[in-house]
Amino acid sequence: MAAQTAEGTSVTEPTSPPTAEKRDYSYTQHGITISDPYNWMKDQSYPTVDDKDVLDHLKAENEWFEARMAPQKALVDELYEEMKARVKEDDSSVPQKDGDWIYWSEFEEGAEYRKYYRKPVAGGEAQLILDENALAEGHEYFRLGAFSVSKNGRYLAYSSDTNGSERFTARIKDLETGELLPDEIPGTLTGLTWVMDDKAIVYGLANEQWRVHDATLHVLGTPISEDVELYRETENDGFRVGAGLSAQEDWLIIAVGDSETSEVRMVRADNPTGEQILVAARKTGREYDVDVRDGTLYIHTNDDHVNFRLATASLDNPGEWTTLIAGSDEFYLSDFELFKDFYVTEGRLRGLDQIQLRSYADPNLVKPIAFTEASFSTGLSNNPEYDTQKLRLAYESMVTPDSVYDYHVGNGELELLKQQEIPSGYDANLYQVERIEIAARDGTMVPVSIVSRKDREAGGPLHLYAYGAYGFAYPPNFSTTRLSLVDRGFAFAIAHIRGGDDLGRNWYLQGKLNERTNTFNDFVDVAKGLIAKGYTQQGKISASGGSAGGELMGVVLNTNPELWGAVVAHVPFVDVLNTMLDKDLPLTPGEWPEWGNPIESKQAFAYILSYSPYDQVVAQDYPPLLVTAGLNDPRVTYWEPMKWVAKLREYKTDENELLLKTNMGAGHGGKSGRFASIYEVAEEYAFILWQMGLTE
């Protein structure tokens, strides 16, 4: 079958899926030999990918994706247009005061990216300070990284990535003249922090393995070659370094660590090359973070309770910590923020987000900010000023659009400033949210948040989503794109499975390392429980997840393929064993506390091998599967989904669809721009509806 390209030339569409070549390759570890005939798909010159065989195979997979999805183009376009119609094209953020200026951002109609503005508090004209659209011009991909205005309001330090590799180039703009300074720092991977009375910034560079091991000082107007390292991590290759300012902006805080161990240093922000204060030396398994107010340190740590406590210490004796808020089995203390007259603690109680105002004078005085929905997501938003009597909050639920509030500290009033507008119309009364619990096979009760139309028929199609890793609690949030499934009769369920910290730190610990399989079992058991409770039926469940959630998809496809009507795995971390054995990959050393180190431990090797989706592919029927990847993805390298799909094509015994789409100019997050990313969701939903026979 022939088709026309944009240039008018004729091309032949493929009539069968690409078959990957197998090349002999094996390795032996701990006396166990593993055969990996698709190892060649990892380009040996990575991160440069120029191997012709690799690129040709990815191209063939993309052509197969386009050919198979072509008959669904009308459905994709229909979904895209209805999703796009829910987006307010000429939208703006709620202005926020910071010093002498009020800042906000805007989308213009039809624009993919934002423009950033400010105007004087005292009155005056709005000033365009940054235009993402202009920066993105000529690039297939664009992402703004750091965005930091100097305290005096004169300079803007920002960074951008134009290929998805997450290596950002930092620039500095003079907001008085509108000109870029000659200072240019390529390869950054952190925020940009103003110090030395706005004469310098602190940044960190991504090394060859995409790890930040430094906090470096750049003085404006000096050559990059003269920049001064304030700190370099040399002991642990898996540790990362980051820097930021204290609440009163008088201290530069330099933090190092991984997912289970922390170490913090402090130095005066007006003299960043001066003597540093080490708060407490690293101790494996102890996490802590620090802020300082009027000479008193506030330390958030898990040293004596898994759900963290808040302690204080003096600058003279920073390692001697006195409990301010004790750790609690019920309340998970996830964060805190200091203000002039009060401080705020954030966390979760029975899995629901909490914001609490607290008094410096009376530790027992706690004022929670209350919300009434059964399931919701809330937290502090942008609060740049230390001396304030208003708190900016973000709030949403699965039926309540993204909402911005100011909380007035004096009288406890919640003032709604803006709620996400849906131009095509939205009636929250048509929908219902439930939060239920389903028993996993070990008796653990797993929370599930569900949104559906009130007029939905019981037992209909259901989409099940989860992440379940790194202690990230996937929020029960609002989604305009999700409505395209829900309005077609789907229930949409988020499984709050172990591996996230939805129910506290132990919930996370019970889904990592040697308890990782709890995560996968929870997801399967939630699906079975939803069937048993009459929400859906076997084979009527679509499922999706990305990155570590893509690993989840890979495992449950292997263990319980009969449950799923269609599965979508985005940038899936599926070649777990090989990745954890490769210490030169960007994330690997820092990931060993999460997954285990199969290089040193035979037990870790065997355990990871027992669930690694790529290694556990077997000859069986698999449900329809769509897989996405990014050629420039530094987090889940392109060859993981590529190898997995090749092996599935070799082993699977069914005729169901198996499609791989690789973004050749993007990374972990897929395409950039608000409309380009929506189109990819439309493709995903079209695939699900097509495969589940629900296109009419």
Catalytic residue numbers, as ranges: 547, 633, 668
CA neighbor of 398 nearest in space, from 486, 528, 517: 486
Residue with tokens 């664009």: 142
Amino acid type, 340: K
The span from the CA of 485 to the CA of 649, in Å, is: 29
Amino acid type, 103: Y
Beta bridge partners of 266: 253, 277
Which H/E stretch holds residue 103? strand 101-106
Amino acid type, 562: E
The sheet with strand 155-161 has its strands ordered as 143-149, 155-161, 168-174, 180-188
How large is the angle between the packed helices 52-69 and 639-651, nearest 10 degrees?
A: 70
Answer for the pair 456, 423: CB distance below 8 angstroms, yes or no: no
3-state secondary structure 55-86: HHHHHHHHHHHHHHHHHHHHHHHHHHHHHHHC
Beta bridge partners of 656: none
Beta bridge partners of 201: 194, 218
Contacts of 98 by beta carbon, 8 Å cutoff, 6+ apart: 149, 384, 385
What DSSP string runs through 539-607?
T-EEEEEETHHHHHHHHHHHH-GGGEEEEEEES----HHHHHH-TTSSSHHHHHHHH--TTT-HHHHHH
- Helix spans in 358-512 (H): 483-486, 505-509
Answer for the pair 104, 95: CB distance below 8 angstroms, yes or no: yes
How buried is 370 (Cβ within 10 angstroms: 0-12 exposed, 13-18 middle, 19+ buried)?
A: exposed
